[in-house]
Amino acid sequence: MTIKQQGGVFGRNPSFNNVDVETLDVSGATSVGGSLSATNITDNGNTRIIGNTTGTDYNNGSLIIGEDAVGATVVTVGNNAAGNYSYMQAVKIGNQYNTLILNPNGGAVTVGNGNLVFSDGKGIDFSATSGTGTSELFNDYEEGLHNVALTAGTSGSVTVDPTYNTIAYTKVGRVVHIQGRVVVTSVSSPNGYLGISLPFSIASLTQGSGLSAIGLWVTGAVSKTVTEFVSFTQPGTSALRVYFDNGSTTGNGANQMQAGVTININGSYLTS
């Protein structure tokens, strides 16, 4: 576009204080020192800014900033002429909006070659669905390995083999699943329950609702067989407690430990 004044043409880089233009095509960069109000700005056909989002013409590569029919601030990024586009609603600097809605009119949201990252304690809120639970926020996932420590509940010690002291865990929300195998390498007059350390502390909930029984397969014990060992989580601690129970007699698990005992573990418990 060429702007003329009184029959003359301005120089290569003219400067204006106030210019009303219906359509402006720019082949290079454009710098605006003050405010810019426009209905349609196109840069080589790739960038489009309009004052509202009531239309359906979302060109390839278009960026539309404005208000929708109900006055909500909207940023729309065009994808193709068929009308497939990303849609973010209620994007505003200030205190008027505090919610970001992706594709409010439907459609999937896809994350490309990256991750969706939440602040600590934040996550996916399912409270839009009806329920009677105490929380509908999914705010944690973790998987890893835990180096087990064995303890005798009353006295003495039980030492774990450093080459067989690792269990795997997966934490989904507050549910922790554990599995693995540990081997005892030596003992020193152990007495009391056998304590097996856990990767997270055990939840303390009302009426014992945080208790869990964990499956064990114990071989090589002093005198007890595989089917006689039982275990449960002790709320408020970070250890599994192992006892033996043959239906008529209950005793402490640590007393049954000796070098070579193998303990296979599998189960889930609630963390705080």
Q: Which residue has the higher pLDDT, 181 or 42?
A: 181
Q: Which residue has the higher pLDDT, 74 or 56?
A: 74
The candidate with the shortest Cα–Cα distance to 227, out of 244, 242, 248, is: 244
The pLDDT value given to residue 131: 77
User: Strand, helix or coil at 227?
Assistant: helix
The percent of residues above 90 in pLDDT, for the chain, comes to 44
pLDDT band at 177 (very low <50, low <70, confident <90, very high): very high
Q: Which of 18-22, 57-61, 72-76, 220-224 has the lowest mean pLDDT?
A: 57-61
- Tokens standing for residue 216: 């064990």
Q: Does 26 score more than 50 pLDDT?
A: yes
Instruction: Calculate the average pLDDT of the chain.
Output: 77
In this predicted model, what pLDDT tens digit does every residue of 111-153 receive, in sequence order? 778 888 888 888 888 888 877 888 888 899 999 999 999 999 9
pLDDT band at 90 (very low <50, low <70, confident <90, very high): very low
In this predicted model, what pLDDT tens digit does every residue of 206-223 receive, in sequence order? 998 989 999 999 999 999
Q: Which residue has the higher pLDDT, 180 or 250?
A: 180
Averaging pLDDT over each range in 105-109, 128-132, 187-191, which range is the top one?
187-191
Burial per residue of 163-188, b for 16 or more beta-carbon CB atoms within 10 angstroms, e otherwise: eebebebebeeeebebebebbbbebe
Is the distance from CB of 196 to CB of 239 less than 8 angstroms? Answer: yes
What average pLDDT does the segment 35-46 reach? 51
pLDDT band at 47 (very low <50, low <70, confident <90, very high): very low
Q: Alpha helices, DSSP H only, in 24-137?
A: none
- Which structural domains are found in the chain, ordered by start? 1-106 (no CATH), 141-270 (2.60.90)
Q: Alpha helices, DSSP H only, in 66-212?
A: none
The candidate with the shortest Cα–Cα distance to 173, out of 146, 199, 138, 145, is: 138
